[in-house]
Amino acid sequence: MTVKELPIWPFRQTILDTVAKHSITVIIGETGSGKTTQIAQMLQNAGYAKEGCVGVTQPRRVAALTVARRVAEEMSCDLGQEVGYRVRFEERTSRMTRIVYLTDGTLLREMLDDHELSAYSVIVLDEAHERSLNTDVLFGVLKKLVKTRQNPLKLILTSATLDSAKFSSYFDGCPVLNIPGRQYEVQIVHSQENHERDYLAAAVDTALDIHLHQAPGDVLVFLTGQAEIDKAVKQLGEAIAELPEDSCADLLILPLYAAMPLELQARVFAPPPEGCRRLIIATNIAETSITVDGVVYVVDPGVVKQKTYTPATGMESLHVVPISRVQATQRAGRAGRVCNGKCYRLYTTQFFEREMSESTVPEIQRTNMLTAVLYLKSLPLDIDVLAFDYLDSPGSEALEDALRQLLILDALDRDGHITNLGKRMAALPLEPSLARSLLAAADFDCLPEALTTAAMLSAETIFSGNRGPVQLLRNEADAHGRQGGLSEQGRATLGDLMKEGLGDHILMLRLFQGWERNGFSSKWCKEMGVDALRRSLLVGFANRLARRMPRHNGYKTLNERATLAQLHPATARIAADEDGLMPEFVIYYALIATAKVFLSKVCPMNTEWVEEVLPKLRNINVERLSGGMTTRKAAKRAEFAGQLSENPVAKEAPAATAR
């Protein structure tokens, strides 16, 4: 398909006219209609990128990278020249760059240095329907900026499916352009029974069945995560290898997920060899943000992996949950882009109608607001966080939770003003606790060690197969039944490192140090490094402290709603005292709920240190922190002034001058 055949092309002039007339425009069009790749180019050709750049945000890092590459190709320039990208820890832009694809988080961080986003003449908030946390925060902040910036800023929101009335009314009645899609018909086939539990096996069987019995056309299978996708790729590969030769056409199996190296991802955009069917097994990433051409069959298990945060307990849960009906429709639509297609839903019609919600709950309503509130407070916009103009409010519980944590981390003062430390934390592209630990580590003179630990904590897991060090030492099998695989020597070394008994963080550090022997002298570390590092962690994770229950080894978190939790079975050894009791205080990286509630990634703390930070956790006045107090004060003052003007003396005085 050439660029001019894309559905968006005939609307070029309408789009430009509308953008010229209005400061905010919403553009809605089917996935694949050309919004992400074409709108920025149209704007540039119309002269919008002369004074400043056109910035296009993406909720996902991968999308920013692949789309920038694609647009550079279309414009026949090298990536990083006229077209570039900026994502966390990586950028390819230059002074020549006119179109930048960047993640929504990166744009928010850029605002901390350049409040008015003066480098941009147009901002396109792409994939608005995904309602990612950062995009939602940008809605509110940019809505404000568009009104106040002297140099006009154009704001465009683009989306696949969207409640356009709600958006338009939130953005002061802005125009909404609808780009009709060129959807072919998609036949929907529901299964007779629900495959909630065995959806992986059902998806593999269905994909195989399509390959053996259906006409040519690529197949797109949705699964929930990398481990699952790898498993499905393996099973399908084995099943195909067992078939007699020449019993079916060639099949190319391609996994697609965000954590995959870019070069491997690029394979799904390359045309397949002649007569070969492609089977793409993808996460939710293929639902809207990446379009794979050639798909005729979709296999939809009806589930997605979703992170949910409960502010009251500070607990994060990662569960496979049913998708919404909007998502199911979107997934099915992926089969109808090249010709009539077919979507196999691995669930019944009743499940679709009764178990699935109409639309997805936006991330802002089910996530930890810590980072977002830190950003809002860092902007010089005098924002009352609790009363801010959100499209959908995160709710006061989540906001109060974030404010309290920011106070404990010294990012806010008691009146809710951002502190210098808070500003420095916001500037670091890390979650606030890690940022705070690093800043404290600089004071405790153990920054290199803290950086190592931060890097290792940021990786989902450092051991293979989701095993912890204890399981590795015992040579226990991983989640997929694979054995430990550590050599005698490896186990001996790990065993030695574990003897120190200071939990996960320190073990991680030790492992790294062992690996990079020529790094910092381990003697020095033994002498002073360990405890300094643990204290830095305490400063950064003072919002995630837990105290052991008297006389037994269960813990209770020290936040608003104290939650009972156990140390995660994958926790590295933590030394017990003579009575077999664990340390009184620990900090944890996450509180996770699976079958039970667990503290994960745990570091023991000395009681004396914790006693120093405990006062910070008491008597927190959230209203004052929000900034609401000042607003309310202002209201009181206005009320008082009003009373004054009703006072006959005050009223008569100006009247006298008029006479």
Contact at 8 Å (CB) between 22 and 175?
Answer: yes
The DSSP symbol for 353 reads I
From Mg ion, ligand CDP, none, which one binds at residue 563 (CB under 5 to 8 Å depending on kind)?
none
**Would the CA dihedral through 174, 180, 181, 183 be positive or negative?**
positive
Distance CA 363, CA 55 (A): 23
Residue among 158 and 313 whose Cβ is closer to ligand CDP: 158
Nearer Cβ to ligand CDP (38/367) = 38
Name which of ligand CDP, Mg ion, none residue 34 binds, using a CB cut-off of 5 to 8 Å depending on partner kind: ligand CDP
What is the closest distance, in whole angstroms, from the C-beta atom of residue 127 to Mg ion in the complex? 6
Residue 310 CB coordination number (10 Å): 18
Question: Which CB, 41 or 313, lies closer to ligand CDP?
Answer: 41
Q: Other C-beta atoms within 10 Å of 293: how many?
A: 12
Q: How far is the CB of 179 from ligand CDP (least distance, A)?
A: 8
Contact 318, 307 (CB under 8 A): yes
The answer to whether the CB of 575 falls within 8 A of the CB of 558 is no
**Of residues 57 and 371, the one with the C-beta less far from Mg ion:** 57
Q: Would you state the structure tokens that stand for residue 58, as one six-digit string?
A: 């993406």
In whole angstroms, how close is the CB of 144 to ligand CDP at the nearest point?
26
Cα separation, 353 vs 247, in Å, equals 39
Count Cβ atoms below 10 Å from residue 80 Cβ, excluding itself.
16
- Residues in 634-653 that interact with Mg ion by CB under 5 A: none
Q: Does 41 bind Mg ion (CB under 5 A)?
A: no
What number of other Cβ atoms are within 10 A of residue 148's Cβ? 10
Least separation in angstroms between CB 36 and ligand CDP: 3
Cα separation, 627 vs 417, in Å, equals: 8
Report the length, in residues, of the chain. Answer: 659
The listed partner (Mg ion, ligand CDP, none) that binds 66, CB under 5 to 8 Å by sort, is: ligand CDP
User: Does residue 121 bind Mg ion (CB under 5 A)?
Assistant: no
Closest approach of ligand CDP to the CB of residue 112, in Å: 28
Residues near 365 by beta carbon (within 8 Å), at least 6 away in sequence: 392, 393, 394, 395, 398
Smaller CB separation from ligand CDP, 124 or 586: 124
Give min distance, CB of 63 to ligand CDP, in A.
8
**Binding span for Mg ion by CB under 5 A among 35-43, 215-223, 549-557, 635-643:** 35-43
Residues 19/177, Cβ–Cβ less than 8 Å: no
From residue 293, how far is each of 24, 268, 630 by CA, in Å?
Answer: 31, 9, 54
Tell me the C-alpha distance between 402 and 432, whole Å: 11
Nearer to Mg ion, 82 or 126 (CB): 126
What does the binding site for ligand CDP look like in residue numbers (CB under 6 A)?
1, 6, 29, 31-38, 66-67, 70, 269, 291, 293
Q: State in angstroms the smallest separation of the CB of 6 from ligand CDP.
A: 6
Residue nearest Mg ion by beta-carbon distance? 36
Q: Contacts with Mg ion in 337-396 (CB under 5 A)?
A: none
Give the residue carrying structure tokens 């320190």: 506
Nearest distance in Å: CB 158, ligand CDP: 7
Strands 176-179 and 24-29: parallel
Of 372, 408, 386, 377, nearest in space to 628 by CA: 386
Angle between helices 420-427 and 370-378 (to 10 degrees): 120
Distance from C-alpha of 281 to C-alpha of 585, rounded to nearest angstrom: 44
The answer to whether 36 contacts Mg ion (rule: CB under 5 A) is: yes
List the single partner that 182 binds among ligand CDP, Mg ion, none, CB under 5 to 8 Å by kind: none
When CB distances are held under 5 to 8 angstroms depending on the partner's kind, the choice from ligand CDP, Mg ion, none that residue 217 binds is none
Q: Could you tell me the smallest distance in angstroms from the CB atom of residue 146 to Mg ion? A: 22
Which of 338/421 has CB closer to ligand CDP?
338
* Tokens standing for residue 474: 């015992």
Q: How far is the CB of 259 from ligand CDP (least distance, A)?
A: 18
Q: Which is nearer to Mg ion, 291 or 563 (CB)?
A: 291
Residue closer to ligand CDP, measured from CB, 36 or 600: 36
CB of 223 to ligand CDP, least distance (A): 21
For residues 262 and 528, which CB has a smaller minimum distance to ligand CDP in the complex? 262
Which is nearer to ligand CDP, 266 or 564 (by Cβ)?
Answer: 266
Residue 277 contact partner, candidates Mg ion, ligand CDP, none, CB within 5 to 8 A by sort of partner: none
Instruction: Return all residues near 516 (Cβ < 8 A) that are at least 6 apart.
Output: none
600 binds Mg ion (CB under 5 A): no
Contact yes or no for 627/385 (Cβ under 8 A): yes
- Positions in the binding site for Mg ion (CB under 5 A): 36
